[in-house]
Amino acid sequence: MADLQARYTTLIENIVQMTLKGQIRSKEQVYEMLVEELEPGSDEEFSTCLTDRSSSTQQQAEDSRDELKQAKAQRALRALKTLESAWSRYQQDNQARGTIATAIHQITTAEPQQRLLAFLTVIDPNQANPLTTDQLNQLAIALRQAFTDPDTKQDLQQLAAGILQGLQSWQALREHLVAWIYERQGLGFTESSQRLSPWGYWAKQPIGSLPRSLFHAIELDQAIDVWASQQTAVKMQDWVELTLVLQRLQQGLGIWADQRVYDSKLGAKLSAAIFVGFSAVWVGLANGLTHATLLNSHHREQYATAAFRAALQVLRTLAQRSYFPFYNSSFGIIGTNNFRSAMDYLSAPLRQVDGTQEKARLLTLLGSFLRNRGLHRDALEIYTSAREIAQAAADSLCEVAALNMMGQTSVALKQYEAAIDYSQRALILSRQHGDRLGEAHALANLGYSEVCRAQALELAPEVYEPAMAYLTQGLQVAHVLEDPVCEGLCATSLGIAYIALSQPEQALAHIKTGLSSLRLSGDIYLYGINLIAMAEACYQLGEMDQVVYAGMLAIHYLHFLEASEWRQAAGLLTILQGKLGEQFPLLLEQEKADLIRVLGLELYEQTLRLLEEYQSQ
């Protein structure tokens, strides 16, 4: 080490003296000298020598009273500044070279069946220093030049070709990405059949056949797993191209959404939807490829595993964002069928991943999906696991969210005491950590739990007062925070409370607020519960047409979730039929057109059959 330091001290002195003599004309010349003279892995030694020389020269410039010596020291300092600039560039380039060398080592030493996964590890966006576009180009060139056995060389050539194809396709898409967003009215990440989708627009660009085919399928709302299962021959270079294109599209859209400073809340929601949307694409691919019997077994397993790994990478990135959607279980993405199959497929393997902060957050997302499908017991199990992991990871935001969701889910399971306990814990913890959103949801859940318990046990009117105070407070906070999920829950609960207190006018006002908020939030279960409350309030007011309308919709939505509460709505309509007699079918016919407008003819007839089956029991 002493010899190396002496050598570097001499090198630095030579560069300073050459600069003073006018023999060095540019930073590039200094940089080339460093590249030629410095030994790999000796950055610390050179940095120490350079720091020592700069300090001693600075001291000379400050202490010297001789103007000539002082001027010479100042010139030496300028020379050292040039050297420091070249040294900084050398370090950056050396780090990049080291990163690429590490990437090449990971890929070339991996087992053949693990080589694609090694590449995914190399381009993982969750790394401290993800590869830049320029570094990916250098990686592709290096892989082409790697000397190894013929079989491995063929794989590396495919990887290199795929990287270059992927970067070329991304460049073609990148030029249109933001312009397309501003030309259109929506991103295409919605459930509306009227959506303007980006996928078809992207498919028209000069990109490879595999991404083009996938984009066409998504544009037509074809199930991604079905598309993937129908693939007959997919080369590794085409798969690598698709991987880079999807990764870059997601990152590009995410950056755009994050930078929407004129509407940061909308940007955060949009960015979260983009993350979940692309993860759903990857999971759909993973699911479909496992059943792609026309692919050879080697590629089938390799691509399916790689797609699932890519999905987890996207979700892990989302889990680290400040806007992770703890309380929003609705994401307008890709298409209903694709999201549902993605979450179903993700459920089992996600439970097997090691317990981390990211896993806890992703479990809350999965739990909300299950709860919104009416699978309350499964959801409660998932939320419980999420809470335990979050507690161990000291992630208070996630722990509060899990407690809130445990409370809300317990209400659906008629476990009111447990629901109140979870909500109280969430309220205490949220206030301890200054979690305003968590506090609003805790107030909403606590009030909701107590109202439902009082209603189920037919308790005295005064019992509702504390619960309604929680709900009013929660509603105010939710309104300030612009959280439609919490607003919807508070308003619905207040409506239920006023119904129990035989104050239907006030109940209906809150119920309508709840319906509007829940329509935005996408919480189908609570939306159905709100419709039951609306039917009951209208029954008390004698507005029988609205009882029929709200009751039929409640039957449909809650039966769709396999939630037992649909029978409550059917029971209310049966009571109404008994009261109205022959007028009931006329009333039903009167509301038929509006119901078909919402449900469609097929679902309307299905809902009518459900009511008839209930009444015949």
The pLDDT of residue 185: 42
The pLDDT of residue 338: 44
Which secondary-structure segment (H or E) carries 157? helix 150-183
DSSP H helical ranges for 482-503: 484-500
Q: Report in angstroms the alpha-carbon separations of 283 from 167, 198, 247, 311, 312.
A: 23, 20, 14, 6, 9
Higher pLDDT residue, 484 or 452? 452
Residue 194 has pLDDT above 50, yes or no: no
Residue 42 has pLDDT above 70, yes or no: yes
Residue 186 has pLDDT above 60, yes or no: no
In this predicted model, what pLDDT tens digit does every residue of 569-579 receive, in sequence order?
999 999 999 89
Identity of residue 547 = V
Q: What is the residue-averaged pLDDT of the chain?
A: 83
The pLDDT of residue 71: 80
The pLDDT of residue 67: 75
Q: What is the mean pLDDT of residues 171-190?
A: 60
The pLDDT of residue 6: 86
Higher pLDDT residue, 73 or 596? 596
The pLDDT of residue 96: 67
Confidence of residue 193 (pLDDT cuts 50, 70, 90): very low
The pLDDT of residue 179: 54
DSSP secondary structure string, 228-252?
A: HHT-----HHHHHHHHHHHHHHHHH
* Best CA proximity match to 539, nearest among 549, 529, 528, 553: 549
Please state, in angstroms and rounded to a whole number, the distance separating the CA atoms of residues 600 and 604.
6
The pLDDT of residue 352: 57
Please give the angle made by the CA atoms of 245, 251 and 252, to the nearest 5 degrees.
85
Residue 54 has pLDDT above 80, yes or no: yes
In this predicted model, what pLDDT tens digit does every residue of 284-328 receive, in sequence order?
898 889 888 888 888 888 898 899 888 888 888 888 887 787 876
In this predicted model, what pLDDT tens digit does every residue of 207-244 receive, in sequence order?
999 999 999 998 888 888 899 999 998 999 999 999 99
The pLDDT of residue 333: 35
State what percent of residues in the chain have pLDDT above 90. Answer: 28
Confidence of residue 329 (pLDDT cuts 50, 70, 90): low
Q: Specify whether the CB–CB gap between 441 and 397 falls below 8 A.
A: no
Q: What is the mean pLDDT of residues 467-485?
A: 88
The pLDDT of residue 344: 55
In this predicted model, what pLDDT tens digit does every residue of 243-267 receive, in sequence order?
999 999 999 888 877 776 445 555 6
Q: Specify whether the CB–CB gap between 97 and 103 falls below 8 A.
A: no
Q: Can you point out the beta strands (E) in 88-203?
A: none
Residue 72 has pLDDT above 50, yes or no: yes
DSSP H helical ranges for 230-335: 236-258, 264-289, 297-319
Q: What is the mean pLDDT of residues 109-137?
A: 86
Residue in the structure block whose two tokens are 């990148």: 174
In this predicted model, what pLDDT tens digit does every residue of 400-419 receive, in sequence order?
999 999 999 999 899 999 99
Pull the structure tokens for residue 311.
């999905």
Q: Within a 13 Å sphere around the CA of 541, how many CA atoms are in the beta-carbon half?
A: 19
Which secondary-structure segment (H or E) carries 181? helix 150-183
- The region of weakest confidence among 526-530, 566-570, 608-612 is 526-530
Beta carbons within 10 angstroms of residue 502's beta carbon: 9
Q: What is the mean pLDDT of residues 487-507?
A: 90
The pLDDT of residue 331: 44
Distance from the Cα of residue 122 to its chain's centroid? 21
The pLDDT of residue 169: 94
Residue 353 has pLDDT above 80, yes or no: no
Higher pLDDT residue, 535 or 561? 535
* Best CA proximity match to 404, nearest among 370, 449, 368, 438: 438
Pull the structure tokens for residue 225.
């797993």
Residue 358 has pLDDT above 70, yes or no: yes
Please give the angle made by the CA atoms of 9, 11 and 12, to the nearest 5 degrees.
65
Q: What is the mean pLDDT of residues 549-566?
A: 86
Confidence of residue 336 (pLDDT cuts 50, 70, 90): very low
Confidence of residue 445 (pLDDT cuts 50, 70, 90): very high
Q: Within a 13 Å sphere around the CA of 616, how many CA atoms are in the beta-carbon half?
A: 6
Confidence of residue 161 (pLDDT cuts 50, 70, 90): very high
Please state, in angstroms and rounded to a whole number, the distance separating the CA atoms of residues 221 and 239.
21
